[in-house]
Structure 1
Amino acid sequence: MPDLERTGRTLRLRWPWLRWTYPQRPWVGSKLPYDDIDMDLFRAATKITIGNGELTSFWFDSWSERGPLRVWAPDLFKVATRKSRSVAKEFLDDNWIRSIAGLSTLVQLAQFLDIWNLVASTHLNPDTPDTIAWTTSSQGIYSAGSAYHLQFLGSLSKFDAAKIWLAHAEPKCMIFAWLAFHAKLLTADRLAIRW
């Protein structure tokens, strides 16, 4: 049975994908029905190749090999003033440096130097638009199935206790497993509670 919350998130992830892949749609630029959790999942599942840098968010999108800048430079992200600007706007005359108001710690300085090296090694191509790829799909294209299964990565499935009775085992073993699953066995920790 599908998880309705995750199914809804799967369908909402299609909006930012279409904003990237079909920017001529009439609703692009308006407020879309997704939240920060949806966008975090979207950004974790996509990889952006920089072209002219106009569609890519400098701080939020995954355009570097290490992922979004706000994730691997969190101390610098906290002090940045213009967090929603594109890569193209931040690269123009090194505007990203102006958005960082005074560095106060060595960690911020180290993160600043990391970003400096990244910006210095990244070159914008004004004739090529930014491209995006869905990393959990073999074709690099969003699909509802891959977005749905992405949300279950690293999670454990629930154990169906009724399957205990389907096992090819002695009845006493199945009864023991059933009692253990339902915490009905008098183990040492449960006996300690009784005394």
Structure 2
Amino acid sequence: MPPCNSEDMALFAAATTVTIGDGSTALFWHSRWLGACTLAAAYPGLYNHSKRKKRTVREAIRDDTWIKDLRHGDTLTLLPDFIRLNRQITTAATVFSDGTQDTIRWNQEAKGQYTARSAYAMQFQGRLRSTMDDLVWKTWASGNIKFFAWLLMMDRLWTNDRL
């Protein structure tokens, strides 16, 4: 499978894993049900060429409907990606369990449940913490002076040279 492009991957798709039950909830292109990222991010050429982008996994795999969605226009350039994706789907051998819903697991928590705290922490993961924040916000000064100092640190003051 081609590597995921983090710019194309949505936060939700990056933080969740979908387990297929009956396949009627998970989206073929937009859910992380097959591999490290969504199929839309892994195969952008196929995704852009597809007529129906909101098919569920069950709809798309049954009778190879996802292939029928690609049958229009010039498809020769899509052939290498098509072969890789078709092989990946065939190798996965997805079996649908009627009566069992698809499940979504939040990978950022041990229990698999979404929390706003874990989503917030994920957005700032890898960010270096500056001690300058403490110098501005923890000092004894009025709020407007703290705010002015923060704007100065962030280079957001509209001085003459910026205007």
1:89-108 superposed matches below 5 A: 89-100=59-70, 101=72, 102-105=74-77, 108=78
Q: CA deviation at 1:48?
A: 0.3
- Code of the residue aligned with 1:57 in structure 2: it is L
Give percent identity, aligned residues only: 35
Q: How does 1:39-188 map to 2 (within 5 A)?
A: 40-100=10-70, 101=72, 102-105=74-77, 108-120=78-90, 121-160=93-132
Compared CA separation, residues 162 and 142, structure 1 to 2 (3 A) = closer
* TM-score w.r.t. length of structure 1: 0.58
d(CA) in 1 for partners of 2:76, 2:50: 13
Change (3 A) 1:48 1:161: closer
Matched residues, number = 125
Amino acid corresponding to residue 117 of structure 1 in structure 2: R
Match for 1:52: what amino acid? Answer: D
After TM superposition, the score normalised by the length of structure 2 is 0.69
Q: Distance in 2 between matches of 1:118 and 1:127?
A: 25
Segment of structure 1 superposing worse, 152-161 or 92-101: 152-161
Higher helix proportion (structure 1 or 2):
1
Change (3 A) 1:161 1:62: closer
Q: 1:127: Cα distance to partner?
A: 2.8
CA gap of 1:161–1:54, structure 2 versus 1, over 3 A, is closer
Per-residue CA shift, 1:72-101, capped at 9, x if unaligned?
111111111100111111112110001113
